[in-house]
Amino acid sequence: MRKLLIVLSGIFLMLSSVTRADEGMWLPLFIERLNYVDMQEMGLQLTPEEIYSINHSSLKDAIIIFGGGCTGEIVSDKGLIFTNHHCGYGNIQAHSSIDHDYLTEGFWARNLSEELPNDNLKATFLIRIEDVTDRVLESVTDQMSEAEREEAINTLRKSIESEAVGNTHYEAQVKSFFHGNEFYLFVYEVFTDVRLVGAPPSSIGKFGADTDNWMWPRHTGDFSIFRVYASADNKPAAFSEDNVPFTPRHYLPVSLKGVKKDDFAMILGYPGGTERFLTSYGVRYAIDVNNPSVVTIRRKKLDIMREDMNASDEVRIKYASKYARTANYWKYFIGQTKGLKRLNVYGEKLALENQFRDWLGANPEMNEKYGEALPALENSYALSNDFNLWSTYFFEAFYRGPEIYSFSRRFGGLVKLLENNETEPEKIQQTIEMLRAYAKDYFKDYNLETDQKLTAAMLEMLWNKFTPDKLPAELAAIHKKYKG
């Protein structure tokens, strides 16, 4: 699952005629303590309080989580959001049809009444961050098993989240950093009435398409525009004609002045997680096993979808967002593998680990404490590589393969209620209504013939990759019945 954290990233300074990037990611909570003086020397004119404050409006109040994992910026006192075209792409697609092909033609609301509501789209504002590491780890001991440790941590996380929310309308999450060594509480205000205001045609918003994706420099008009709506008292509210544009605590004024050489620049936003701390064993696995597997499976899915999309405008619109989601990390893993090889990341990791071994050899006390770390990691990868390969194929080709399987999993809750002889009809009816609503959206963008092709291709990939004992018995039955 992607981890969302608000960070300052990529601070740039022109030194002489050479551009140097002071790379890194920092929680704005610690900006004053960590690197504010350096940023001032580079040209930053904002104070730490103007970047991150829990008592006054600040830059953090204008930077939002858009949807489930994108960043957006509030750019007006009426809740206007700028975000990437690819971040709004699914919503643009959801409003598109043969008669109103906003993907191809673009969309522009001429007034508030023409702005389009979006199901399940959220705009999430950060209220505050708090370091809760000591509280979370206070009941954890070295004698605990991993399961016991996880249970103790989760119990405390839930308690801290509940305490942070109290009787407010806020939401809270305690997030793990550095593989469970640090924990931070994030308190959010979440708005669910977010409407589409404008988007360029895909010839601009997706210019270069997959060829240019994850490539720089690029020339894509990668933007779309939305607006946050709130109740009359400026609080989060479900969609209603009575809602009004949200008045933000802070917004970014749009400047037409442009930028000059040597101008200070920084990025404030919500990236995903990072795997920069992988060992050489993890890098080798990524290069040789994980990345090529994902690329191979997704390439097959893309070919099937593209063939049907090219043959029908209806299918093209239905599958536009699905194709884009699949293509995004297909291209990412191609580029990542090339980058890992070109930069010899495996060799660099190996050299660092050898330095660590030399340090252990010169420090008997440290060797006693950490001497088994690298051998344990190496052994773990050796033991789990086969399972991880199977897991990758199962996840990509089955769990995220044919849509009908993901759709059928939605019925698990209803099946459980019926099997347990649930005595409250309201629970059953509520579950049925949720499934009906989901089915309506699901079949709106579903093409049976395309999914049948995906099903056949993905099951064939699994069958050809693994021996029958590694696969569900049902797959062997299908293979026998249909003679491959």
Q: Which three-class secondary structure state does DSSP give residue 21?
A: strand
pLDDT of residue 140: 92
- Alpha carbon distance 299, 374 (integer Å): 35
Which band of pLDDT confidence, cut at 50, 70 and 90, is reported for residue 464? very high
Q: Which two tokens stand for residue 319?
A: 């599958």
- Write out the two tokens for 28: 């704005």
Average pLDDT, the chain: 91
* 415-456: pLDDT as tens digits: 988 888 767 888 899 999 999 999 999 999 999 999 999 999
Q: In degrees, to the nearest 5, what angle opens at C-alpha 409 toward C-alphas 313 and 478?
A: 80
- Each residue of 235-270: pLDDT tens digit? 999 999 999 999 999 999 988 988 888 888 888 998
Residue 142's pLDDT band (cuts 50, 70, 90):
confident
pLDDT reported for residue 68: 85
pLDDT in tens, 210-225: 999 988 898 999 999 9
Whether 169 shows a pLDDT value over 80: the answer reads yes
Indicate whether 481 pLDDT > 70: yes
- 228 close to 193: Cβ distance less than 8 angstroms: yes
365 is written with which tokens? 């006390």
pLDDT for position 484: 66
CA-CA-CA-CA torsion sign (134, 139, 141, 147): negative
417 vs 233: CA distance, rounded Å: 39
Whole-model pTM?
0.88
Domain ranges of the chain: 7-269, 280-401+447-481
Q: Is a pLDDT exceeding 80 seen at residue 4?
A: no
The Cβ-side half-sphere exposure at 156, using a 13 Å CA radius, reads 19
Greater pLDDT, 275 or 53: 53
Q: What residues pair up with 66 in beta bridges, in sequence order?
A: 70, 123
| Type of residue numbered 95 | H
Torsion-angle region of 28 (φ positive above 0: left; ψ -120 to 50: alpha; else: beta) = alpha
Residue 9 in this model has a pLDDT that exceeds 80 = no
pLDDT value of residue 425? 85
pLDDT for the residue 216: 87
- At residue 185, what is the residue type? L
Q: Does residue 362 sit in helix, strand or coil?
A: helix
Cβ atoms 219, 205 nearer than 8 A: no
Read off the pLDDT band of 11 (50, 70, 90): very low
Rounded Cα–Cα distance for residues 467 and 459 (Å)? 13
